[in-house]
């Protein structure tokens, strides 16, 4: 099966980094941007300075605006913000994606519908083959060719393996998996817990508190993911524990950084007006809370993050509330 032509929709930091990874794997890449100036810069100077600074991009990448050539793509990567996925997919002729593997790379749940990214794709273009890419990764590392391992999940085992092999390069290693639901939910939920861990750090509550929070977040994530049909084993791998650990400990994570500001007493509006880049956890948190309610799963940490984002309670009061919850035996839900 020929998988030479890769089409990447979205030229932000992550989309550009994935285009670079595919190019380093020997693929021919088309990178789609909404901004003609961005396309011009990539094609002439081999840089996307707004997102990746002076990082030189492979000459296998051709940037453009619009959907020219999409019908000839072998693999399509959707790398737009989670709340924009539906809008972008609606603008594409469904025939262009018929029978194509579409790799969904946004880590977020849709506000309003409560849909996962793959559910949005299947609703709009049912003839496409949804796959999900998730795991511990920062765009700057991938673009620089630093070692990165992720999970690529899809229902069709053969197709998933072929796509994983096509995207694998000298420093980019996607591991094929079949648990689409688990991988997708883990990638979305970890952003919420990263906000919480950032807030704990911002409030100077200590590394012990942050470590405990990560452990309880893992337990909470497991409860919700398994109740929604995901596999608990997925959460012990790259897409689960691996991504959770990275996002909950590094200021390079946009969600962790945003939480850090919240913990220092700033409001959501103030942080956003200060030019903060997109933190998917902001919109995913209320969606995850809605899913937990629908599936009757206790999610005190997700509830706490929603209180913090709404400005209903400060971090000290939230932590005090969590610490006063009834004690349970370790390992019990």
Domain boundary residue among 178, 212, 229? 178
Under 8 Å between Cβ of 106 and 80: yes
pLDDT in tens, 125-160: 999 999 999 999 999 999 999 999 999 999 999 999
Residue 270 has pLDDT above 80, yes or no: yes
User: What value does the mean pLDDT take over residues 194-222?
Assistant: 94
Does residue 16 lie within any of the structural domains?
yes
pLDDT in tens, 286-299: 999 999 999 999 99
Residue 210 has pLDDT above 80, yes or no: yes
The active-site residue out of 5, 107, 190, 328 is 190
Same domain, 185 and 265: yes
* The pLDDT value given to residue 333: 54
Query: Where does the pLDDT of residue 326 fall: very low under 50, low under 70, confident under 90, or very high at 90 and above?
Result: confident
Structure tokens at 169: 């390069």
Domain count of the fold of the chain: 2
Does residue 19 lie within any of the structural domains?
yes
Residue 27 has pLDDT above 60, yes or no: yes
Rounded-to-integer distance, Cα 136 and Cα 245, Å? 8
Q: Which has the minimum average pLDDT: 152-156, 166-170, 273-277?
A: 273-277
Mean pLDDT (the chain, rounded): 95
Does residue 332 lie within any of the structural domains?
no
Same domain, 171 and 218: no
Same domain, 186 and 210: yes
Same domain, 163 and 291: no
Q: What are phi and psi of 106, to 5 degrees?
A: -80, 140
Does residue 196 lie within any of the structural domains?
yes
What distance, in Å, lies between the first and last C-alpha atoms of the chain? 45
* The pLDDT value given to residue 332: 61
pLDDT in tens, 89-121: 999 999 999 999 999 999 999 999 999 999 999
Same domain, 237 and 291: yes
Same domain, 125 and 185: no
- The strands making up 148-154's β-sheet, listed across from edge to edge, are 61-64, 28-32, 5-9, 75-78, 101-104, 129-134, 148-154, 172-177
Same domain, 33 and 74: yes
Does residue 157 lie within any of the structural domains?
yes
Rounded-to-integer distance, Cα 127 and Cα 122, Å? 7
Domain boundary residue among 158, 178, 198? 178
Q: DSSP secondary structure string, 81-110?
A: -GGGHHHHHHTS-GGGGTT-EEEE------
Query: Is there a catalytic annotation at residue 190?
Result: yes
Same domain, 174 and 191: no
* The pLDDT value given to residue 277: 83
Give the domain CATH number at 37: 3.40.50.720
Rounded-to-integer distance, Cα 302 and Cα 290, Å? 10
Same domain, 158 and 11: yes
At 308, is the secondary structure helix, strand, or coil? helix
Does residue 329 lie within any of the structural domains?
no
Does residue 330 lie within any of the structural domains?
no
Same domain, 161 and 131: yes
Query: Cα–chain-centroid distance for residue 147?
Result: 18
Q: Which has the minimum average pLDDT: 62-76, 129-143, 149-163, 315-329?
A: 315-329
* The pLDDT value given to residue 314: 83
Same domain, 155 and 201: no
The DSSP 8-state label assigned to residue 61 in this structure reads: E
Does residue 193 lie within any of the structural domains?
yes
Domain that holds residue 54: 5-178
Same domain, 199 and 308: yes
Give the domain CATH number at 286: 1.10.1040.10
Percent of the chain with pLDDT over 90: 91
Structure tokens at 201: 């750090």
At 91, is the secondary structure helix, strand, or coil? coil
* The pLDDT value given to residue 327: 66
Domain boundary residue among 178, 207, 238? 178
Residue 228 has pLDDT above 80, yes or no: yes
């Amino acid at each position: 099966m020929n998988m030479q032509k890769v089409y990447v929709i979205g030229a932000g930091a992550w989309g550009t980094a994935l285009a670079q990874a595919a190019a380093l794997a020997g693929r021919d890449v088309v990178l789609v941007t909404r901004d003609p100036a961005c396309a011009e810069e990539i094609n002439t100077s081999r840089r996307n300075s707004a997102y990746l600074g002076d990082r030189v991009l492979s000459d296998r990448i051709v940037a453009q605006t619009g959907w020219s050539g999409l019908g000839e793509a072998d693999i399509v990567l959707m790398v737009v913000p989670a709340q924009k996925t539906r809008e972008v997919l609606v603008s594409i002729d469904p025939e262009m994606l018929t029978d194509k593997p579409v790799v969904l790379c946004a880590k977020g749940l849709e506000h309003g519908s409560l849909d996962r990214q793959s559910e949005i794709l299947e609703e709009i273009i049912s003839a496409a083959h949804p796959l999900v890419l998730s795991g511990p990764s920062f765009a700057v590392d991938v673009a620089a060719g630093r070692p990165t391992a992720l999970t690529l999940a899809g229902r069709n085992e053969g197709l998933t393996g072929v796509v994983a092999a096509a995207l694998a390069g000298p420093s980019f290693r996607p591991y094929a998996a079949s648990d689409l639901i688990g991988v997708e939910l883990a990638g979305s939920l970890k952003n919420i817990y990263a906000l919480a861990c950032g807030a704990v750090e911002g409030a100077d509550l200590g590394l012990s508190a942050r470590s405990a929070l990560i452990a309880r977040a893992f337990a909470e994530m497991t409860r919700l993911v398994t109740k929604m049909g995901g596999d608990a084993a997925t959460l012990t791998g790259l897409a689960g524990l691996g991504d959770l650990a990275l996002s909950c400990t590094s200021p390079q994570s946009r969600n962790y950084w945003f939480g850090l500001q919240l913990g220092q007493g700033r409001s959501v509006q103030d942080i956003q007006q200060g030019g903060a880049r997109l933190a998917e956890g902001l919109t995913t948190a209320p969606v995850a809370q809605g899913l937990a309610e629908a599936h009757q799963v206790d999610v005190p940490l997700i509830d706490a993050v929603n209180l913090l984002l709404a400005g209903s309670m400060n971090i000290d009061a939230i932590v005090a509330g969590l610490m006063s919850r009834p004690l349970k035996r370790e390992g019990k839900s």
